[in-house]
Amino acid sequence: MKIPLIVALVGLAISFALPTLAQQTNAPDPQLRQTLIAVIAKHADAMNNNDAAAASALFTDDAVYVTDGGPVNGRQAIEKWYADLFQKVHFSDHLITVDQDSPHNIGTAGKQMMWATGGWSTAIQGKDWGPKQIKGYWSVIREGDDWKIRMLTSNITPEPAATPSPTTTPSNK
């Protein structure tokens, strides 16, 4: 009799433990989320204004932007990267979304830090092509009192007609 009771109690303990785990992973601090959304709006504005100085001002001095061409190290290099990009491509309707469970607080008493993931979409136009709609996803690590970007990376969703992608899921179109 005693053993089944213990098993039942352990079972109960597990069923209580599981919902708390789910809560931990799915509920971001609402205030931190609002802060993130506010700083992201500045980034979207900078992209829509094709303003390399404004975009790079959102990064820390030692930031890394992991582009699909490789890492760009340091705010100065990131500004040049944006400037070169904006010379060739005009961005508009740049929209940034934040995933439901982001941001994740990874700060300590001495230093504020968070990481987050989300999606982006934009219209791009060149001198003799476009406009064209593209989209993808991003992840970021932000830090400090003004939540500057320490690390940013982004990817681009392949077009349906593109080369077969090993990761294209059936749910995506």
Residues 6+ apart with CB under 8 A from 100: 26, 28
Residue 4 or 26 with smaller CB distance to another protein: 26
Minimum distance, C-beta of residue 1 to another protein, in the bound complex (Å): 34
Q: What tokens appear for 23 in the block? A: 């809560």
CB 113 within 8 A of CB 151: no
Residue 5 or 161 with smaller CB distance to another protein: 161
Residue 49 or 139 with smaller CB distance to another protein: 139
Residue 9 or 111 with smaller CB distance to another protein: 111
Q: Where are the alpha helices (DSSP H) in 27-160?
A: 30-48, 52-56, 75-88
Minimum distance, C-beta of residue 77 to another protein, in the bound complex (Å): 5
For β-strands 132-143 and 104-105, DSSP reports them as: unpaired
Minimum distance, C-beta of residue 20 to another protein, in the bound complex (Å): 12
Residue 24 or 31 with smaller CB distance to another protein: 24
Minimum distance, C-beta of residue 153 to another protein, in the bound complex (Å): 4
As a whole number of angstroms, the longest Cα–Cα distance in the chain is: 81
- Per DSSP, the three-state class of 69 is coil
Peptide bond into 170 cis (omega under 30): no
Q: What tokens appear for 168 in the block? A: 């294209």
CB atoms within 10 A of CB 153: 16
Minimum distance, C-beta of residue 51 to another protein, in the bound complex (Å): 18
Binding site for another protein (CB under 8 A): 21, 24-25, 62, 64, 66-74, 76-77, 80-81, 84-85, 88-89, 99, 101, 106-108, 110, 113, 115, 117, 119, 124, 126, 128-129, 132, 134, 136-137, 139, 141, 151, 153-158, 161-169, 172
